[in-house]
Amino acid sequence: MNELGVGLIYFQGFENFLASHSSLIDVVEIEPQTFWYDKNDECDAFKYDADVTAFLSSYNRPKLFHGVGYPIGGTCVPPAQHFNTLRQQAKELKPQWISEHLSFNMFNDAGREINSGFLLPPLQTAEGVKIAAANIRAYRDEMGLPFAFETGANYLKPRRNEMPDGLFVRKVAEEADCHILLDLHNILANQRNGRQGVRDFLKCLPFERVIELHVGGGFYYKDFYLDAHSGPSDAELFSILEEVVGKLPNLKALMFEIDPESFTKVPQSAIRNQLNTMRQIWDKRGYYQKKQKAKPAVCPEAGTDAIITVAEWENTLGKMVLGKPIDNELSEELLHDKGISIIKDMVFNFRGSVLISTLKFSTRLLRLSVGEAVFKRYVNDFFDLAAPELLPVVAAEQFSAYIKSNNTIVPYLDKILEYELAAIHTAIDKQKRMVNFDFDPAPLFAALEAARMPVEPLAPKTLNLQVVFENQAKAADSLAFNPVVHN
């Protein structure tokens, strides 16, 4: 693999920055599932945004794939359409390698696979190592590309019966004989939240397997430090980065992660400074290794008493973060872990943000009409009834059906829901649709855009509004596939 350099994780909306800062960016990393918006039953795959693919194909920089669909740390394996779609995207965009997270986000409950809506930490036992390694080998065989797994953030307390974080990572990499994507911000977040320290973690790593580094920024929430991708890296992370880069003999890429919302709020000068600092540190790659022939310290072995299985771990943790009833010895233990409530908060906030962004006018009308407390109660009740969905269009349809089944009496809501669902499906299939209004929706849309209700009541009026693709936002603007949440 070639040395690629310093780069940025790409999201829609970054195009102008990429074009105007080409001297700072050597490589872009793509999260391919963020462009998936519907199932393609004709070829057992997913549909993905052709405009995004065309832009990335034309962007003259090497590319990497970073999966956010099916992490490799769990017992639930990806369906055929997942790999079918990834292979098609890889054929078009030609990534140098592909990576995924050493986490899980699906669990099995009585034969049904349920999406947890969050990257959850795997069980760090010998069984967990074997499962992750088997998944990596299968992933690599399916894709025919070099593979690296990402070291994850873990908001739970260290458990007595688990391997230390660094040892688990080393064991997985050696068992699977694969590369490592070292996310230094994740490891620093783990240290700040009371898990294994960064230096002890690094002592366990086989440095020669690390081909990629991720850095980013975060913030504190309820005394926990979140891997939020919310801005530039802090001084402590840069200090660690400079030391680590010098010890990695096979480092090929150094990537900056920032989420799309933060990207619009952080001054571009701060992002430029981040990339410039990364480039200065990049030039020191392998320095200590080449000068001193240094090797990472030997990681001490740690015995584990695997009193629970991976399947039990996944089912218990998955149910707990979704607020589902579960009563066993493990759940009693985890109830005393404050990290559970942090993860539950993030799952709720993420699922809520998907609804609000996908059904912008409908949820805004509902919130203004019934108030925030009642709206949150509706959302909580809906989340209790429906598991997280990989595709936002499915969640939007389910929420619409839930609101209608509840006989929620909010003027104009039924028609606004009908219109937004029509717009979503038109954005997907480009087919025209007709929505018949018994009022003029223009004043209502204008008011909702300003987050208020109309000053005057809407006069009755028969109006047939045609929804056409040309008048809609790109599908990915409202239908971004984000089953994985880092923060």
DSSP state of 407: T
pLDDT at residue 76 in the model: 95
CATH number of 5-292: 3.20.20.150
Is the whole model's pTM more than 0.85, yes or no?
Answer: yes
pLDDT at residue 288 in the model: 66
Q: Span 112-126, mean pLDDT?
A: 94
Res 60 pLDDT > 70: yes
Alpha-carbon span 416 to 393, nearest angstrom: 16
pLDDT at residue 44 in the model: 64
The alpha carbon torsion through 443, 445, 451, 453 (nearest 10 deg) reads 40
pLDDT at residue 293 in the model: 55
Q: For residue 300, give both structure tokens.
A: 């001490």
Least confident piece of the model among 35-49, 161-175, 199-213:
35-49
Please tell me which residue, 465 or 61, carries the higher pLDDT value: 61
Alpha-carbon span 289 to 287, nearest angstrom: 5
Domain boundaries, the chain: 5-292, 339-479
SS3 content of the chain, % helix, strand, coil (to 5): 50, 15, 35
Q: Span 245-271, mean pLDDT?
A: 95
Bridge partners of 181, per DSSP, are 150, 212
Bridge partners of 395, per DSSP, are none
Res 366 pLDDT > 80: yes
Residue 400: CB atoms within 10 Å: 19
Q: Span 61-88, mean pLDDT?
A: 94
Contacts of 333 (CB under 8 A, 6+ apart): 159
Nearest Cα to 26, choosing from 185, 254, 214, 238? 254
pLDDT band at 484 (very low <50, low <70, confident <90, very high): very low
Least confident piece of the model among 186-190, 289-293, 347-351, 441-445:
289-293
pLDDT at residue 472 in the model: 42
Q: For residue 74, give both structure tokens.
A: 């769990």
Q: For residue 326, give both structure tokens.
A: 């579960």
User: pLDDT tens digits for 387-441?
Assistant: 888 788 889 999 999 999 988 789 999 999 999 999 988 887 788 999 999 999 9
Percent with pLDDT over 70 in the chain: 91
User: pLDDT tens digits for 8-36?
Assistant: 999 989 999 999 999 999 999 999 998 88
User: pLDDT tens digits for 200-243?
Assistant: 999 999 999 999 999 999 999 999 999 999 999 999 999 999 99
pLDDT band at 477 (very low <50, low <70, confident <90, very high): very low
Q: What is the mean pLDDT of the chain?
A: 90
